Amino acid sequence: MEVGILAYGGYIPKSRLQRSEIFKAHAWLNPGLKGLSKGERSMANWDEDSVTMALEAARDCLTAYSRENLSAVYMASTTFPFMDRQNAGIVADALNLKSNIQTLDFASSQRAGSAALSVALQVANGADQPILFTVSEKRQTKAASPLEFTTGDGAAALLVGKGEVIAKHLGTYSETVDFVDHYRGEGEAFDYMWEERWVRDEGYFKIVPDVINGLLSKTGISAADVTTFCFPVAARNVAATLAKKLGFNENSVADNLQANCGETGAAHSTVMLVHALENAKAGDKILVASFGQGCDAMLFEVTEAINALPKRNGISGSLSRRKVETNYNRFLSFHKLVNLELGIRAEVDKNTGLTTHNRNRKMTQRMLGGKCSDCGTPQFPKSNMCVNEECGAIHTQEDYPFAELTATMNSYTADRLTFSPDPPAYYGMIQFAEGGRLMSDFTDIDPDEELTVGMEMRMVFRIKDHDFKRGFRRYFWKATPKMSVKKGN
């Protein structure tokens, strides 16, 4: 049986910070940044991090696929929210997966995503069930740095395994070179970057061609047969120059999404791969490479099965769900780059008792409610008594997942008295289509967007609050206006 990609998914946050607004703030310091001021970059909400974005990409990837059939969850990032708590385990828990699966975190390099994908493909070759691979980034960048303009927040996911693959894995080739183009030391918030031309000439142009030629030689594929070349680098013309040197068709260079997203770090090679798969046709050969202390390169051939893949949002769908952001100060706040006076209501101690967290984990992370085995009434949260007044049965509640259920808004409030990192705080009552109600926080609400009673809502996994004193963050599910599926094969 062939090994490769069975499905894909993507997630880009809704807000798009206009780079012109970044430049306005820093023109006094460095007028030369104007050359980077075109377009926009994706901007995660305050309640998003690499875990929540990875989960959204994974949910998109698993559209119409049974979650019972997974053997592992791999997550890659250089911006994990927890340094000593398995982040892939949080993703698996929020997906309500069985506990007897393998979960692994991959980190410490811009090649973390491609390395994790390479391992997943190797393991999948000997596994009976597929592996969910997801990669995500929310990076901090120094104000007035080029990275602040060129980076973006986002995630992608792939389901890899054997069977009716949409893209067959033809081969992988890697070289490890301790070429230090940038680094981030222990306890440091920001990357330290070296001179761009040196990185280009000594790094990209010397290391990457050897790896790609090695891959082509290994697979027996000629450069002219490569349909799409995905190379995640923000610097202009680097990918095109590499393609010319390697003998690729000049039209093979994939869009690096710099105009409307930015470079999403370790996630970007997979983000570009997902974007390429969205418009691929059977027979296309997609070569994806990533750079960071060496280079990984992988080659895939698209199959006829891609035509039967159920619709999903992917990267294109996420990009189409767009809110223009012109408030640079909001970006600084959401990425913790400025120390704001948040008021006394923000000073409540957010200590989380880990015993309480564990006891309520099914409710808070898996969003499991209850369903009465006597009358079939669902309810959230789960309790000992059925809420149906015509039933009232005791101890009949069975676990019932609510996270993937559509809901409608019954009421909403915009509250400026309670503390919120992004005031006003939106919340209200939602009614699930199959039964059950919840007083829920709302997220990703555009103040200019009309909220109406009865509008469709979906649940998203987000940060509930931060315990900055102890470095912990609590997650819970929030409601957001439902987006329709925009892109699929």
Q: What is the pLDDT of residues 56-110, one digit of tens each?
A: 999 999 999 999 999 999 999 999 999 999 999 999 999 999 999 999 999 999 9
**The model's pTM:** 0.96
From CA 5, how far away is CA 120, in angstroms rounded? 10
Average pLDDT, the chain: 95
- Of 284, 316, 334, the residue at which a domain comes to its end is 334
204/306 same-domain check: yes
Please indicate, yes or no, whether residues 186 and 320 belong to a single structural domain of this protein.
yes
Question: What does the block give as tokens for 167?
Answer: 């893209």
Residue 486, pLDDT > 70, answer no
Distance CA 218, CA 181 (A): 28
Q: How many whole angstroms separate alpha carbon 430 and alpha carbon 377?
A: 16
The tally of domains found in the chain comes to: 2
* 260: number of Cβ within 10 Å: 16
Among 334, 356, 372, which residue terminates a domain?
334
SS3 of 369, please?
strand
Sign of CA dihedral 442, 448, 452, 454: negative
Same domain for 17 and 141?
Answer: yes
Q: For residues 321 and 412, state if they share a domain.
A: no
Both 328 and 434 in a single domain?
no
Question: Does any domain span residue 20?
Answer: yes
Residue 349: per-residue pLDDT: 86
SS (HEC) of 200-246: HHHHHHHHHHHHHHHHHHHHCCCHHHCCEEECCCCCCCHHHHHHHHH
What angle (nearest 5°) sits at the alpha carbon of residue 353, between those of residues 383 and 351? 120
**pLDDT, position 489:** 44
Give dist(CA 242, CA 236) in Å, integer.
12
**pLDDT band at 484; cut points 50, 70, 90:** low
Distant-in-sequence, close-in-space partners of 484: CB < 8 Å, separation ≥ 6: none
**How confident is the model over 354-408, as pLDDT tens digits?**
999 999 999 999 999 999 999 999 999 999 999 999 999 999 999 999 999 999 9
Q: Are 303 and 282 in contact (CB under 8 A)?
A: yes
**Mean pLDDT throughout 264-285?**
98
Tell me, yes or no, whether 450 and 315 share the same domain.
Answer: no
Q: Is residue 353 part of a domain?
A: no
Angle between helices 238-246 and 205-219 (to 10 degrees): 40
Q: Is the peptide bond before 423 cis (omega within 30 degrees of 0)?
A: no
Please check whether residue 439 lies inside any domain of the structure. Answer: yes
Please check whether residue 462 lies inside any domain of the structure: yes
CATH number at residue 464: 2.40.50
Pairing mode, strands 72-76 and 378-379: unpaired
Furthest CA-CA distance within the chain: 75
The neighbour count for residue 378, using CB atoms within 10 Å, is: 22
Residue 397 included in any domain: no
Q: For 192-215, what is each residue's pLDDT tens digit?
A: 999 999 999 999 999 999 999 999
Beta strands in 19-166 (DSSP E): 40-43, 72-76, 102-106, 131-137, 154-162
**pLDDT tens-digit series, residues 416-438:** 999 999 999 999 999 999 899 99
> What CATH number is attached to the domain comprising 117?
3.40.47.10
Does one domain contain both 328 and 424?
A: no
Evaluate whether residue 386 is within a structural domain. Answer: no
> Which residues form the domain of 230?
3-334
**Facing residues of 181 across strands?**
none
pLDDT at 236: 83
User: How much is the average pLDDT of 255-278?
Assistant: 98
Distance CA 11, CA 461 (A): 13
- Range list of H helices, 95-175: 112-124, 146-150
The candidate with the shortest Cα–Cα distance to 481, out of 461, 463, 467, 460, is: 460
Note whether 443 and 318 are same-domain residues: no
Say yes or no: 302 and 443 in one domain. Answer: no
Radius of gyration of the chain (CA): 23
Question: Could you give phi then psi for residue 217, rounded to 5 degrees?
Answer: -65, -40
CA distance 64 to 312: 9
Is 88 within the bounds of a domain? yes
Let me know if residue 170 belongs to a domain: yes
Task: Please name the helix (run of DSSP H) or strand (run of DSSP E) that holds residue 466, with its range, or none.
Answer: strand 456-467
Q: Which of 315, 334, 353 is the last residue of a domain?
A: 334
Token output for 474: 């609590």
